[in-house]
Chains A and B, each alone.
Chain A
Amino acid sequence: MAETSNQTQFSLKLSRTTAAMLFLILIFAFATVAYAKFAGLILFSAIVVFGGVSLFYHSVKLRTIGMVAIILLSILNIAVNGIHFGIDFSGGTKIPIILDKSVDQQTMSKIIDTIKSRASVLGLTEVKVKAIGDNEISLELANTTEDQISTIEKSVSQQGVFLGIVDGKVALSGDDLYSQTIRLRVPGSTPGRDWEVFFTMTNDGARTFASTVKGKPRFPVYMFLDRPTDSIIVLSREKLLSSGQGAVSAVSTTAPATLGDYDTINAAKSALKLENNNIEMYFVENILQNTTNL
């Protein structure tokens, strides 16, 4: 007579589908942790996958696993990314900015970059700027004082400062242009020219321009918007030399076909020259070798 064991034998038998589900859960969980930036998209994909499984497989066990998986992945999402508290809970200031007219995406992107850089100049690095539609911008500042809010409001409402510089002197400024007359011509419409911008100057502006450029034919006009003051530029010498030659040749009809490194670097320095306000240029390679500026 065979003896029967009183011990309960425990065996875990997983069906293929259940094992596949558990494997998927692990994949999604790993992806949520490894790619936290895309956790929302991963969670959405999980909902689609497990939701689809629930539709096609009429097993209560699978549907329960799917539901639990979505809940656990959501909790993991919160654990990895945290909850983004609005200013009602975190404190701060929200400033909605409404533009005078609608702008395209490129212009909106430039406006946002300008606001961010002006805010960072004021020492406000935790500014959140985002576009809403095509004529509204939302500005959110973490805890700030009333004076800081006032300063940023003034800074944001200021128009950009446009300068046209020839041989280190201001030949043209934004105050000398009639803003409504600025027109961009489609690139390629004039043979031999990449792009063209037309504008009309005031009489005073025209006289200033004429007197500044007198005796300087074919000198390039370097145009800046919000040209930084008290700044330096740090760039790679290799990148400047590889891209600079084409740029210099394009603006100078008398430049030789191939330029030496010295000419390219000189042209770059010339573009940054302005009486009493030069922007110094430093090469990354030299800084790394602990040398001074050129």
Chain B
Amino acid sequence: MLNINPGVDFRGGTLIKLTLDQPIDSNSLRLNLEKEGLIATVNSYPVSNSYIAEIELGQSQDLIKAEELKDNFTKILNEQILIESSSNVSSNGTLSAGTQRQTLDQLANQMFVLSKTDKKANEIANLNLLNKEFSIAYTKVYDNYQKSISTPIQKYVKYTSISIHTVSPVLKGKFIEKAEQAVFYSAIVSIIFVFFFFRTFVPSLAVVLGAASDVIIALGGMGLFGIPFTLPTLAALLMLMGFSLDTDILLTMRMLRREGDPRDKAFDAFKTGTTMSLAAIFAFLVLFLISLYTHISTYYEISAVALFGLVGDLFATWGINAILLLNHVESKQKSGQNGRN
């Protein structure tokens, strides 16, 4: 199984980056944050004439609980509204139809407790008011979470600038959904384009396999070196598909559409294709080195994934695809010659 570490975007949680004038002891900061109830991983690096500290916190259980309560509350609230609006009120004022008001009150009370709000659901008769108080309590849970992070950090660290990237459970779900859609539609469109363009099975399959190999090699590199799977790395993986299609289509066009000996054509394509790939590798290598120096994680993630993929592409395209295509073209030539004979 691929041991890929999902980043904050797909795992949820909070990533805080601090710029500091003085170095800090990562371990003692981690212990201080633990005293405040925050389980975090802390790393710090020197960068030119300052220092960067990265604090990563897992998804908050309070936020997960708040989302669960909200989903259940909303579902039951909508049902209860329809029940109350359509039922008849008996002479003593009670609803004659079934009601889930008790369940609703329990959920609301749990949210009030979670948000440390001093309210009781059974004291709020009106459903709209109950919904309003519930929404306020829900927002307060997030507010409390933000404060629970920023207050200890301000207490223990003197920073010059701060960047806080928080991904809630709902947002994490949204990112995952969008990532799946992006991958699915990119793959489908690429496959359709390739098969439509070449209209022959073996070369088209070779191109698609080449692109898939590059992505899998890059994912393997990410797992090996612990590069987190984040939105930038997803973008880099999709970009890799483009790079791979580039060299594969170059090879396939030269092999299928040009006249001459198949092996000579393959070698010509190899010279052009490797020049292209090496140029891209050098460009991303420069970005990678800059990212190591500046500790900008987005540059690091994108360039590392691109490097793995491009190096993998050299093997996938010229080691696998070229052989497949050469076999295909040579066997077609042989069968053509046999037919003439």
Contacts and interface: CB of A to CB of B under 8 A. Distances in A.
Interface stretch (A10-18, A30-38, A174-182, A276-284): A174-182
Of B81, B136, B170, most buried by chain A (CB within 10 Å of CB) is B81
Interface stretch (A118-126, A151-159, A221-229, A252-260): A151-159
Nearest to A174: B128
Interface stretch (B111-119, B139-147, B200-208, B324-332): B139-147
B81 A178 contact: yes
Nearest to A181: B85
A175 B78 contact: no
B81 A100 contact: no
Nearest to B175: A96
A105 interface: no
B250 to A, nearest CB: 21
B74 A175 contact: no
B101 to A, nearest CB: 13
Interface stretch (A54-62, A108-116, A199-207, A233-241): A199-207
A146 B126 contact: no
Nearest to A202: B126
A98 B85 contact: no
Of B125, B139, B170, most buried by chain A (CB within 10 Å of CB) is B139
A180 B139 contact: no
Contact of B85 (A158, A175, A178): A178
A135 B319 CA distance: 46
B129 interface: yes
A175 B133 CA distance: 12
Contacts of B129: 175
Contact of A157 (B74, B82, B135): B135
Closest 7 CB pairs of A and B: A178-B85, A200-B85, A175-B128, A180-B81, A181-B85, A178-B81, A157-B139
Interface of A: 88, 96, 98, 100, 136, 146, 150, 153-154, 157-159, 174-181, 200, 202-204
A150 B146 contact: yes
A92 B219 CA distance: 32
B146 A146 contact: yes
Q: Which label, helix, strand, loop or mixed, suits the secondary structure of the A interface?
A: mixed
B123 to A, nearest CB: 15
B279 to A, nearest CB: 20
A131 B126 CA distance: 33
Nearest to A205: B126
Nearest to B161: A91
Contacts of B89: 203
Contacts, number: 54
B150 interface: yes
B87 to A, nearest CB: 11
A204 B142 CA distance: 33
A179 B146 contact: no
Contacts of B298: 88
Nearest to A100: B74
A175 B126 contact: yes
B132 interface: yes
Contacts of A180: 78, 81-82, 85
Contacts of B135: 157-159
A200 B142 CA distance: 33
B323 to A, nearest CB: 37
Contacts of A158: 135
A96 B178 CA distance: 14
B153 to A, nearest CB: 11
Contact of B143 (A153, A159, A181, A203): A153
B84 interface: yes
Given A146-B146, A154-B136, A157-B139, 9 more contacts: A88-B298, A98-B170, A157-B138, A159-B135, A176-B126, A178-B81, A179-B128, A180-B82, A180-B85
A176 B129 CA distance: 9
B178 to A, nearest CB: 9
A111 to B, nearest CB: 16
5 contacts: A175-B126, A178-B84, A200-B86, A202-B126, A204-B126
A82 B14 CA distance: 33
A54 B20 CA distance: 54
A175 B124 CA distance: 12
Nearest to A177: B128
Nearest to B129: A175
Given A153-B139, A157-B139, A175-B126, A136 B174 contact: yes
B276 interface: no
B171 interface: yes
A93 B114 CA distance: 26
Interface in B158-188: 170-171, 174
Nearest to B166: A95
B143 A96 contact: no
B71 to A, nearest CB: 10
A207 B174 CA distance: 44
Contacts of B85: 178, 180-181, 200
B171 A96 contact: yes
Interface in B56-112: 74, 78, 81-82, 84-86, 89
A150 B74 CA distance: 23
A154 B138 CA distance: 10
Contacts of A179: 81, 128
A176 B85 CA distance: 11
B150 A146 contact: yes
A98 B146 CA distance: 19
B334 to A, nearest CB: 39
B119 to A, nearest CB: 16
A180 B82 CA distance: 7
B263 to A, nearest CB: 33
